[in-house]
Amino acid sequence: MDPEITRALSQTNFTAWDWGIVAVYLSISVVIGLKVKKYVGSMADYVTAGRGVGAALGVATMTGTEMGLVTVMYSAQKGFIGGFAAFHIALIAGAMTLLVGLTGFIVFGLRKHEVLTIPEFYERRFGKRVRVLGGVMLALGGILNMGLFLKVGSMFIVGITGLSSDGRALPMVMTVLLILVLVYTVLGGMISVIITDYIQFVVLAVGILVATGLAIANLGWNTIFEVVATEMGEKGFNPLVADSAFGLEYVIWMAFLGMVGCAIWPTAVARALAMDSVKSLKKQYIWSSVSFLIRFIVPYFWGICAFVFIMTKAPDLAPLFLEAGEEAAPLSNLYAMPVFMGRILPAGLIGIISAAMIAAFMSTHDSYLLCWSSVITQDIVAPLRKTEMTPKARIKLTRILIVGIGLYILYWGLCYSGGEDVWDYMAITGAIYFTGAFSVLCGGLYWRRASSTGAFLALLSGLVAVFGLAPVQDLLGISIPGARFGIASIVLACLTMVIGSLVFPDRPGMHDVAKTAEEGGDA
Amino acid sequence: MNGWMLLWKAVFILGVALFAGMSVWVTIGGFGDIKRLFARLEAAHGTKPEDE
């Protein structure tokens, strides 16, 4: 690593005391994983905590899952690049979650059917082949989506602790964190995930409020806005202006993402399916709209503060993080926020904030690992087997898959070389699944004439989103915004659902299932 | 630009204030929910280990 970069990154207030705080927190998490193992008696316990989660705990676990360290990192990157204009993504996400909570769009219907996973609903409505394809698309999009989580989360740890002086620090941190998260996810399933999500919520809530207060105290409330206005101009505030980092097409794409993020994204839906009643579910979504706003807006603000800090108080960092003309910055701007935090937070507090962030990291990983592995077990392997799988065999397979996916994200994090922002990478990989899922769920819940062929074609349409990935575009020699491919795949999925259903309707007998689905889908 | 600046200031302050209030409710209410969750699981399956 360049000595200049090493010197800049090693200036942190992180001390041995802070390492102690982090170690205590991680130990508590692992012990919880071991303690709650005895409560796992069935696949429903393992995947949905026996559907016994109350409203307040539901909000905590929804926030814990959706406000992961990777969210904090990619959002800070967006704030660093786009300024306050990035806030539109947060506002849309919060508004969409509130809307889903008030109307029950999709999630009420799924909860009423008491399914364990979304593809399970596909089978009830459209048959086994749609369930298996839905499971494959979900697992493909979802596992690709979390491919960078481990690396990006570890970059935060490396940046805030100053470990960066050693070039091997990043893979080492990735490996240690992965082992920790695998241990308690494999052991406890959803029950341990929900309990650790709760602890994370408490630690994280205190952490983000204190860190935000300190950032404002350090830089000055008015200075933050003035520096962005001076350095970025209108594009630092208006997401629709022509030369901003966003634009109208991007805002439309974000509006769709805001809706699917809470109503279709499996880790969020898994929380909905774990609730003890539809009433609790409604309450969970209405309150979680605040979390969906905060999970973006606070990290955007931290990224903006990192930018202002570099421009006003740490000019030595500017050549490392900011492009000089055509020349790319030598260091990933993902490091900007943790380096900023490492410099402004005092010893002791930095340990608590780091523990909160590692908590965020772990609670997201455990939920995602559990989600994708249970989908492969429940929706791909079990339906394809000729003999019924016992609950014990299902839990065992899910645990093996958790470890397998963990090893994949370690490999992918070290190998992927795409040049897009992390958020845009996640949006486009997620689109492989959710564009098809959106039309299939809408059709399945609200349109009686939706057919299995239409659903099958709609799910396949999601593959168009792959062309939005930077390495795929490089391979094809094209340069088209990922948002455009995302919007194109939504349109294609809806069209194939409608045309496929009208041209290839299901046999009359299957409409009994359709009727049941529609009744469940009434919000 | 001033309109956008005012909007983002308001959204940020309101969002953080709501989150602070919600955190208190979730911290207290969530603890009660955890106790009820375990009581429910114990009643449904007992506390026998999964591999028994």
Chain B residues whose C-beta sits inside 8 Å of any chain A C-beta: 1, 4-5, 8-9, 11-12, 15-16, 18-20, 22-23, 25-34, 36-38, 40-42, 44-45, 47-51
Neighbouring CB atoms inside 10 A of A207's CB total: 21
Q: How distant is the Cα of A67 from the closest Cα of chain B, in angstroms?
A: 13
Domain assignments of chain B as residue spans, ordered by start: 2-44
How many angstroms separate the CA atoms of A82 and A77, rounded? 8
- Flag if B19 and A294 touch (Cβ within 8 Å): yes
Q: Residue A38 has what pLDDT?
A: 65
B30 closest CB neighbour out of A39, A60, A237: A60
**Ranges of chain A whose pLDDT falls below 50:** 511-512, 514-523
A52 chain-B contacts, CB cut-off 8 A: 36-37, 40-41
Contact B12 A198 (CB under 8 A): no
| Residue of B18, B25, B50, B52 to mutate, interface with A, max A Cβ within 10 Å | B50
Q: What's the predicted TM-score (pTM) here? A: 0.82
| Nearest CB to B33 within list A45, A56, A225 | A56
Mean pLDDT of the B22-43 span:
82
Task: Say if residue B52's pLDDT is above 70.
Answer: no
Interface confidence, given as ipTM, is 0.83
B33-48: average pLDDT: 71
What is the C-alpha to C-alpha distance for residues A56 and A71, in angstroms, rounded to an integer? Answer: 22
**Which residues on A lie below 8 Å from B42 (Cβ)?**
39
The C-alpha atoms of residue A301 and residue A296 are separated, in whole angstroms, by: 9
Distance (Å, whole) CA A155 – CA A153: 5
- Give the gyration radius of chain B's Cα atoms: 21
Integer CA distances (angstroms), A251 to A90, A132, A467, B9, in order: 11, 33, 20, 20
Q: Do A52 and B37 touch (CB under 8 A)?
A: yes
How distant is the Cα of B15 from the closest Cα of chain A, in angstroms? Answer: 6
Q: What is the pLDDT of residue A188?
A: 60
CB–CB contact A297 B12 (8 Å): yes
| Structure confidence at residue A219 (pLDDT) | 94
Residue in A85, A194, A201 closest to B26 by CB? A201
Give the span between the Cα atoms of A89 and B8, in whole angstroms: 12
CA atoms A43, A46, A48, A54: torsion sign: positive
- Residue that wins the pLDDT comparison between B24 and A325: B24
pLDDT at B8: 95
The CA distance from B48 to A376, in Å, is: 27
- DSSP H helices in A416-481: 422-446, 452-461, 470-476
Q: What is the CA radius of gyration of chain A?
A: 22
Contact residues for A388 (Cβ-Cβ < 8 A; gap 6+): none
Q: Which residues in chain B are contacts of A84 at CB distance < 8 A?
A: 4-5, 8
Supply B40's token pair. 């429910």
The sign of the torsion formed by the CA atoms of A216, A220, A222, A225 equals negative
- All structural domains of chain A, each given as residue ranges with its CATH number in brackets, are 3-32+54-322+338-415 (1.20.1730.10)
What pLDDT, on a 0 to 100 scale, did the predictor assign at position A361?
82
Residue B14 pLDDT > 50: yes
CB–CB contact B51 A392 (8 Å): yes
Candidates A61, A192, A225, A237, partner chain B, best to mutate (most B CBs within 10 A)? A237
Q: In 3D, which of A146, A165, A199 has the Cα closest to residue A35?
A: A199
Q: DSSP string of A215-255?
A: HHHHH-HHHHHHHHHHHHGGGGT-TTSTTSSS-HHHHHHHH
The DSSP call for residue A378 is I
With CB atoms and an 8 Å threshold, state whether B37 touches A238: no
d(CA A191, CA A34) in angstroms, rounded, equals: 11
Mean pLDDT within B15-32: 89
Q: Angle at the Cα of A366 (from A392 to A299), degrees rounded to 5?
A: 165
Chain A CB contacts of B44 below 8 Å: 41, 50
pLDDT of residue B46: 57
End-to-end C-alpha distance for chain B, whole angstroms? 66
Amino acid at residue number A517: A
**Residues of B in Cβ contact (< 8 Å) with A194:** 37
